[in-house]
Amino acid sequence: MTGNGYNAEDPVDLHGAAPTRPGAAAPPSAVPAERPGPEQLVAVQPPVTADPAMWGWRARLRKVTGGLLKPGPGREEARHRQAEVAVRQHLGGGRLVMVANPKGGAQVSTTALMLTHTFAALRGGPVVAWDNHEARGTLAQRAEVTTPDTHVWHLLGAAEQLTAVGTAGDLTHYLRSQPTRAEVLASDTDPGRAQQIGPGECGRIWLLLGRYFGLTVMDTGDNVRAGNWQWAAGMADQLVVPITLEPDVAQSAAWMLDHLDTRRPDLVAGAVTVVGPATSAAPPALRRQMLAYFAARTALVVEVPFDPQLAGGRPIVHARISEASRRAWVGAAAAVADRLAAQRAPRPDQLPPRTGTATPPTQENHESEQPADTGRPPPGAAHASVTELHLRKAT
């Protein structure tokens, strides 16, 4: 049929070769190697460092010239943009970050909250800060939003129902939503309660949090031999060690690393040390010695500056944090994200089928595993006692 833009086709033999029309070229025997792939239909995005500068004199130059001159970012701005990209990278699985230093005043709660805020603000959630003290902790008191007044024991009272038929919306009854979109799970606040959080309770809480949150940042207590602390050490994917450059704080952290080295050397070797401001500046020689020590024991060392909004134990209002402090915490969160991304967690569809009834995770789960690939040689077994920290030298 002709005259309407259509042409009748000869029938095709489905059981043999299709007939060749007169004048038609023979089909190619193979797909040409130069044929473009579908990925070429998508424009390649330039790196974040290619955008015009937003900081300093470079940004002012762009503004005063009306955009005629668009200098790129300086070194610090470029590094900050790359850090933001690192924070947003794919991590995979429900990840547990353990923030720990048994010395009081080591800024553990501040570090846990600031990492949670930074991850939530840049990733868009869901991220939760879990105050995993065996009794009463102070993390929830540092949060900007302190309602509702529910805590871990209220959550545990509903654990069976939430596990069976609960939803993410039901879980919000027990969490304190922050302006950064971070969530906070408070520790026990009942002064009359004698019961403590142990490994069994931790397992039930983690079963719920891991179901709805891709990233959980845990504030631990001060007793490294407590059941909940040991559970955290066994289950954590990443360790963050907050310190200040004061001998007692640093020695406490070093002792903890020696303790963890006996059962989780992978956790120690891959740890991120976050150095916060001390009440007084350390002498230059002692400062160099402490930084060298933790650089040798852990994977990364990141420093954060003093910020009055973070000092004094008051609630942290994230919007009032200085720009310099905010940028430093992005760097700290990027270091944690890089370490987590280096640990390839298998997807559920890549795991063999499980039989029987699922049970809450316990602290023994990591005991039989091989140490994670941390990108560093395994820690040596000949570490000296940390009680003589001032005599230790980085290797």
Task: Please identify which residue in the block is written with the tokens 């190619």.
Answer: 28
Instruction: Tell me the mean pLDDT in the region 262-279.
Output: 95
Residue ranges of the alpha helices (H) in 89-198? 108-123, 139-142, 152-157, 159-165, 168-171
- Average pLDDT for the chain: 82
Read off φ and ψ for residue 219, nearest 5 degrees.
Answer: -90, 120
* Residue 9 clears pLDDT 80, i.e. is over it: no
Task: Decide: helix, strand or coil at residue 233.
Answer: helix
Determine which of 13-22, 28-37, 60-69, 123-132 has the lowest per-residue pLDDT on average. 13-22
Output b/e per residue, 162-177; b: 16+ Cβ within 10 A.
Answer: beeebeeeebeebbbb
Per the structure block, which two tokens stand in for 28? 């190619």
Instruction: Tell me the mean pLDDT in the region 255-274.
Output: 96
pLDDT reported for residue 377:
34
pLDDT reported for residue 10:
44
Task: Decide: helix, strand or coil at residue 176.
Answer: strand
pTM for the model stands at 0.78
Determine which of 29-33, 93-97, 391-395 has the lowest per-residue pLDDT on average. 391-395
Residue ranges of the alpha helices (H) in 89-236? 108-123, 139-142, 152-157, 159-165, 168-171, 199-212, 227-235
Q: What is the DSSP string of 345-386?
A: PPPGGGSPPP-S------GGGGTTSPPP--SSPPPPTTPPPG
* Residue 390 clears pLDDT 70, i.e. is over it: no
Task: Please identify which residue in the block is written with the tokens 């310099």.
Answer: 324
Comparing 118 with 189, the larger pLDDT belongs to: 118
268 vs 260: CA distance, rounded Å: 7
pLDDT reported for residue 123:
93
The band of 215, judged by pLDDT with boundaries at 50, 70 and 90, is very high
* Residue 359 clears pLDDT 70, i.e. is over it: no
Instruction: Tell me the mean pLDDT in the region 175-187.
Output: 96
154 vs 103: CA distance, rounded Å: 28
User: What proportion of the chain, given as a percentage, has pLDDT over 70?
Assistant: 80
Q: What is the pLDDT of residues 54-100, one digit of tens each?
A: 788 888 888 889 888 888 888 899 999 999 999 999 998 899 999 99
* Residue 151 clears pLDDT 50, i.e. is over it: yes
- Report CA-CA distances (Å) from 41 to 36, 44, 46: 9, 9, 16
Instruction: Tell me the mean pLDDT in the region 141-157.
Output: 94
* Residue 372 clears pLDDT 70, i.e. is over it: no
Instruction: Tell me the mean pLDDT in the region 254-283.
Output: 94
pLDDT reported for residue 370:
39
